Amino acid sequence: MASCRAWNIRVLVAVVCGLLTGIILGLGIWRIVIRIQRGISATSSSTPTEFCRNGGTWENGRCVCTEEWKGLRCTIANFCEKSTYMGFTFARIPVGRYGPSLQTCGKGTPNAGNPMAVRLCSLSPYGEIELQNVTIGNCNENLETLEEQVKDVTAPLNNISSEVQILTSDANKLTAENISSATRVVGQIFNTSRNASPEAKKIAVVTVSQLLDASGDAFQEAAATANNDALTTLIEQMETYSLSLGNESVVEPNIAIQSANFSSKDAVGPLNVRFSVQKGASSSLLSGSTFIHTNVDGLNPDGQTELQVLLNMTKSNSKACGFVVYQNDKLFQSKTFTAKSNFSQKIISSKTDENEQDQSASVDMVFSPRYNQREFQLYSYACVYWNLSTRDWDTYGCQKHKGTDGFLRCHCNHTTNFAVLMTFKKDYQYPKSLDVFSNVGCALSITGLALTIVFQIVTRKVRKTSVTWVLVNLCISMLIFNLLFVFGIENSNKNKTSDGDIHDIDFKNNEVPQTDTINNPNPTCTAIAALLHYFLLVTFTWNALSAAQLYFLLIRTMKPLPRHFILFISLIGWGVPAIVVAITVGVIYSQNGKNPQWELDYRQETICWLAIPEPDGVTKSPLLWSFIVPVTIILISNVVIFITISIKVLWKNNQNLTSTKKVSSVRKIVSTLSVAVVFGITWILAYLMLVNDDSIRIIFSYIFCLFNTTQGVQIFILYTVRTKIFQTEASKVLMLLSSIGGKKSLSSVTQLRLRVRMYNFLRSLPTLHEHFRLLETSPSTEDITLSESDKAKQSI
């Protein structure tokens, strides 16, 4: 009878293990097939990743190339190859750019470290790429000495303009002091009272374009130290210069200037003037991409239009107008608006030759928003102008107009420097709701944990022992974590997503935004992330306390345990995680509290959990220091203790104890699993999910999900179902139910056989001795005669 019973148990265990293995492998294969199908459909419906070559990116339905390439797929060269001329060597130079020489001024010169010469790469009238002659600089001059020289009214402005252009050719080396000095020098060249030659002014435009390649931080520092005076003066002088070009244009990579002079025969001038900027292969401005049309009816943008301005001069007596386009807003250092993204914020200036008091022209504008539509959505925009008095953006006289062609439309009743300050919302890919696999596992765990807690508390008197304190606290923390995970892991912002359509924008609100990227704050999600963080740390802490307590009981044979032991470990189990979470949130808030989006430095937006660090910010990540590091330390210590207990206690046959000789291998396996569950050993599978192979990672993901979402069920089976009290009561209930349900259909003999089989099956399950508890300071009352230390060892 005993051998038959043992055989039945082995068959049952084998069947269960086989079913679980089959389910895991089936889910893994199914998941791989789904991923393959998604990959095929994505490939057929979207642009391949390698469609844009040579660093080009796919934006707004086309390839946006780097300056060195052009064409549909960025495969046509747009640069001059490395060259040597007059003893100077030049690296690859993009078309339209001046390349600095590799030779620099010596250490003993005022211009030490700066290039000795520059060379222009341009297009010939026939469209061929060619290199121009070398312009050699003076190593005895620097920006500071030139700033002093330009104050002299007799100074050679042509030479000074060329020297400044050479000194600013390498934008990566420009500091805030360099920018301030260069803007002052260029400002003097554009000053109408200095009567600089047209050639000197054109070279000064090149210098301004090169300055706009400098870092934004350098411009911010320059604006702060110079109090914006030099930048503001330069902006005003660029407007004035735009009226002096006749019908010509000056186009550099970061700035384009064009004028329109009207015939003196027209007494009142044209009615409307339209200025257009066309899209190029790269983000830089290109020669031939700007156009002016006079006497037009209105705006007429098309698919190639990046921005368009209509200057309404019906009531104006102007004879000339000018336009300036800035590739970015670095000259316009705002105190209210902060740009955090690298999306182009073009600035357009329009000016007429009327007196300041007689300005009567109005402006209509359209802008084509240019941003990464894969990751961001256009949230809103503001039509603004640069207020030279306050030196900041202002909305006075400007309003938004609703359009139907995908362009951002503005109208202002005056002329000056205009911009559209766009705000973007990151297009988060919120995950789908928990799948059936996770829901079923969490539901079973929640039920098992709740029953385990109730059983441990209710039956403590029947079992004549104190409640298992560590086990109950472990179950409570795990239960709360599972409830929060199921009902709170999803961000409620998931239901507030939009498609980023321009028609969803509030056109009545035209306020200057604070930043160009926003996120909807969700304090509830932040609170849930903090609670999940806390209760998962609590769970791991109680796992560690379980391991430590068993180590002292079974290895050190420490009985009874020290006084106030329960109070001491309770403070550790619930207090230490609270300190870790409080310090983490406090440090993040103290560093980023002024930022309305500080929450995203702590948690993710897609789910209410700790933020995943950027590749360059791993060492500062809260996920690393407040979760991964402490959990890793706990798991390593638990594994060491688990191996020690398994070798010295669970799988060791003590010849002096007759009882250990009768312990079967199945019971040893079950005892080992019992310890592994409360130690949290299965969480080691999370590290196996970090492999690069997607197929293997998917399999480990499902194995991890299976073992950890059902951890509550495992505790319920191993620490509740396997106890004698539960089996006895459960057998009575099952026999009662079977007898009630089978009265009409089964004979009395059949009912008796069913009861006997059910009773024998439940009694055949291997059980833990009732005298063992994870945290018990007194021996339990079992009908065995062993020493205290032997009792503890036999309790597994």
| Of 412 and 12, the one with more pLDDT | 412
Mean pLDDT of 447-471: 78
- Is the distance from CB of 117 to CB of 135 less than 8 angstroms? yes
Q: Is the pLDDT of residue 457 over 90?
A: no
Q: What confidence score (pLDDT) does residue 340 get? A: 76
Per residue in 19-73, pLDDT (tens digit) is: 544 444 444 444 444 443 444 334 333 445 568 888 888 876 778 888 899 988 8
Q: Give me the long-range contacts of 673-676 (CB less than 8 A, separation at least 24).
A: 673/714, 673/718, 674/718, 674/719, 674/768, 674/796, 675/550, 675/642, 675/645, 675/646, 675/650, 675/796, 676/642
Q: Is the pLDDT of residue 796 over 90?
A: no
Burial status of residue 697 (CB atoms within 10 A of its CB: 0-12, 13-18, 19 or more): middle
Q: What share of the chain is helix, strand, coil (3-state, %, to 5)?
A: 45, 15, 35
Per residue in 773-784, pLDDT (tens digit) is: 333 333 333 332
Mean pLDDT of 727-736: 78
Q: Which of 716, 639, 641 is nearest to 475 (CA)?
A: 716
- Pick from 147-161, 306-320, 454-468, 614-628 the range whose average pLDDT is largest: 147-161
Q: Which of 384, 389, 379, 469 is nearest to 426 (CA)?
A: 379
Q: Which of 726, 708, 709 is nearest to 717 (CA)?
A: 726
Cis peptide before 110 (omega within 30 of 0): no
SS3 category, 101? strand
The predicted model scores a pTM of 0.67
Percent of the chain beyond pLDDT 70? Answer: 75
Q: Where are the alpha helices (DSSP H) in 121-197?
A: 143-149, 157-167, 176-190
Question: Two tokens at 59?
Answer: 């934006």
Element (H, E) at 543: helix 523-550
Q: What confidence score (pLDDT) does residue 43 get? A: 38
CA dist., res. 29 & res. 568, Å (int)? 48
Q: What confidence score (pLDDT) does residue 412 get? A: 92
Q: What confidence score (pLDDT) does residue 789 get? A: 37
Question: Two tokens at 157?
Answer: 């402005």
User: Residue 500: which pLDDT band, with cuts at 50, 70 and 90?
Assistant: low
CA dist., res. 210 & res. 182, Å (int)? 11
CA dist., res. 737 & res. 245, Å (int)? 100
CA distances 352 to 271, 299, 387, Å, are: 13, 19, 17
Q: What confidence score (pLDDT) does residue 768 get? A: 36
Rounded to 5 degrees, φ, ψ at 84 are -135, 130
Mean pLDDT of 100-126: 91
SS3 category, 507? coil
State CA 660 to chain mean position distance. 56
Q: Which residue spans within 470-622 are E strands per DSSP?
A: 517-518
Angle (nearest 5°) at CA 235 between 234 and 241:
85
97 Cβ contact partners less than 8 Å away, ≥ 6 residues apart:
67, 120, 121, 253
- Is the distance from CB of 774 to CB of 549 less than 8 angstroms? yes
CA dist., res. 675 & res. 774, Å (int)? 10
